[in-house]
């Protein structure tokens, strides 16, 4: 099924956490050589009728605010995210440490798909557990940067 032939009237929010602004530069042997700009371009080309909103921050509270905004909550009196049908979340290191982020995902009425570029089960012991997996609608782990496309596809197929 070619999902790009449908006319979608919603947005998919892609959120990246700490250090993911360095994709393509940081440890390419683990995270690959594609930049996030290249990944986003590939996604938009694959689904031209879907509106994608991309956010990245090295600050935990920003990620929580964006998830809450996607659920229609006003943050600082500003509602900037409307009609979000799904969230693709690569929380980076916060996946393993942030109970607050887990709580925001758990409360989300918008489905959240967790993405890990590397296979966290084969990484250092402190990276092997994600606090997000059991509160996300779906998880994609160890598929490289193609995991972002797979996450979008999952959201579109399960809308």
Fold entry, domain 9-125+134-157:
Rossmann fold (3.40.50)
Quick check: helix, strand or coil at residue 48? Answer: coil
Distance CA 45, CA 27 (A): 26
pTM of the model: 0.88
List per-residue pLDDT tens for the chain, 159 residues long. 444 444 446 799 999 999 999 888 877 777 777 999 999 999 999 999 999 999 999 999 999 999 999 988 766 655 566 689 999 999 999 999 999 999 999 999 999 999 999 988 888 888 899 999 999 999 999 999 999 999 999 999 998
Report CA-CA distances (Å) from 81 to 18, 33, 68, 118. Answer: 21, 30, 9, 29
Q: Which residues are catalytic?
A: 31, 116
The residue ranges of every structural domain in the chain are: 9-125+134-157
């Amino acid at each position: 099924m070619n999902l790009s032939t449908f006319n979608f009237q919603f947005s998919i929010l892609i959120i990246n956490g700490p250090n993911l602004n360095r994709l393509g530069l940081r440890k390419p042997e683990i995270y690959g050589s594609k930049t996030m700009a290249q990944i986003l371009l590939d996604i938009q080309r694959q689904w031209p009728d879907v509106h994608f909103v991309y956010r990245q921050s090295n600050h935990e509270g920003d990620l929580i605010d964006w998830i809450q905004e996607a659920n229609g909550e006003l943050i600082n009196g500003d509602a900037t995210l409307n009609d979000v049908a799904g969230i693709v979340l690569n929380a980076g290191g916060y996946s393993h440490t942030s109970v607050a982020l887990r709580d925001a995902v758990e409360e989300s009425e918008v489905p959240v798909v967790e993405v890990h570029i590397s296979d966290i089960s084969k990484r250092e012991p402190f990276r092997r557990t994600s606090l997000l997996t059991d509160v996300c609608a779906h998880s994609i782990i160890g598929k490289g940067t193609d995991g972002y496309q797979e996450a979008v596809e999952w959201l579109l197929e399960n809308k």
